[in-house]
Amino acid sequence: MGDLTTELTDNASSRALLEMLPVTITMRDHLRQEKTGELPAAVPEAERQLDFENGTLGLWGSNDFVIYYRDGSVPRPGIIILGHIRGDASILDRDGPLTVELKLAE
C-alpha cells in the first residue's frame, strides 16, 4: 500500500504511543470513514474533541486506535487526537482489514 508520514500532537497520549513504537496493528473498516484497531496497551487520557478530518489519528478508548480517511464527527465523549497524516489518507478507503506498522521515520 505504501508509506504514510504522520505528525503527532504533543499530548500525554501521543507521547505514550511513541514509547510503544514500533507496533503493528491489524485494522478493520468501520462506518466507511475509518480504520480501527487495538494498541498493545492503554495510553493516558488527553483532551477530546468531536470533529475529525481526513488523516486524523486518534483514540476512542484508552487503546482503541483510529485512522480517519474522511471528514466527520463522533458522539461524546469524542476522540483523543494523536496526530495527522501528511497528505491524503483516502488510500485507506478500501474494503476489508489491513495491517498498519507504526514506527519512527528513518
- Give tens-digit pLDDT for 55-69: 999 999 999 999 999
Residue with cell 491524503: 88
Q: What predicted TM-score, i.e. pTM, was given to this entire model?
A: 0.94
Any residues with CB less than 8 A from the CB of 92 and at least 6 apart, and which?
A: 35, 67, 69, 98
Residue 15 is predicted with a pLDDT of 96
Check residue 100 and give its pLDDT: 93
Using 50, 70 and 90 to split pLDDT, how confident is the model at 92? Answer: very high
Domain-embedded: residue 66: yes
* Domain assignment of residue 18, yes or no: yes
pLDDT of 79: 98
Q: Rg of the chain's alpha carbons, rounded to an integer?
A: 12
CATH assignment at residue 85: 2.40.100.20
Q: What total number of domains does the chain contain?
A: 1
Q: Is the pLDDT of residue 106 over 80?
A: no
Residue 46 domain-assigned (yes or no): yes
* 1 in a structural domain: no
Residue 11 lies in a domain: yes
Q: Give the angle 31-36-40 at the CA atoms, nearest 5°.
A: 165
- Full domain range(s) for residue 35: 6-102
Residue 31: φ, ψ to 5°: 60, 20
